[in-house]
Amino acid sequence: MNLTVRGQQIEVTDALKDYVDKKFSRLEKYFDASPKSDGSVTLSTTRDLHTVEVTIPLPGLVLRAEDESDDMYASIDAVVDKLERQIRKNKTKLNRKFRQKGSLKTLFVEDPAGGVAVAEDEELDELEVVRTKRFLLKPMDVEEAILQMNMVGHNFFVFANIDNEEVSVVYKRNDGKYGLIERE
């Protein structure tokens, strides 16, 4: 796995880069073949918070995790743990999806430890929809959608964008600003 490590408001030392490479090498045991894609790791500091953001594009999916703490090394450890949980939680479902596409190849190793499969993987494989909402999408601009989102107290809001006549989503980011999701 090729990882590009970059820093924002922090110098990426050789020690940090080596630590990132060492920790992320733990993920390779989950793959049948080492991914050929280039992942990115962004290390940043804001005040006393050290943030690590990781994006690893794979065929058919993207692994992404983010963590922040008061220690950069602890943030790196936490991000790797989050990625491992994502892989363990979804590997059965993803392997099934890849096999259904007509290929016998699977993306993830069935049992990376070589021992008995973990029972929690089977429990986590069942995703349950507990509520369904249907509503009419009122055409509005982005600013009105943000106001509506804030009025209902949600972190996101789905609306019909009056500018491009598409369904869009506005959401509140962790930094307090807003994001917009549109179809390509």
* Domains defined along the chain, listed by start: 2-124 (3.30.160.100), 139-181 (3.30.505.50)
Going from the first residue of the chain to its last (184 residues), give the mean pLDDT of each consecutive group of 10, the final group possibly shorter.
Answer: 87 92 86 76 90 84 87 93 84 63 54 47 62 85 89 87 92 90 89
Torsion, Cα 71 72 77 81, to 10 degrees, reads: 90
- pLDDT at position 81, please? 92
> What pLDDT is recorded for position 122?
47
pTM of the prediction? 0.60
pLDDT of residue 104: 42
What pLDDT does 43 receive?
93
- Cα four-point dihedral sign 104, 110, 115, 116: negative
pLDDT given for residue 142 in this prediction: 92
Position 100 scores a pLDDT of: 58
Contact yes or no for 70/49 (Cβ under 8 A): yes
Query: What is residue 180's predicted lDDT score, i.e. its pLDDT?
Result: 95
Give the pLDDT score at 85: 86
- Partners of 55 in the β-ladder: 40, 64
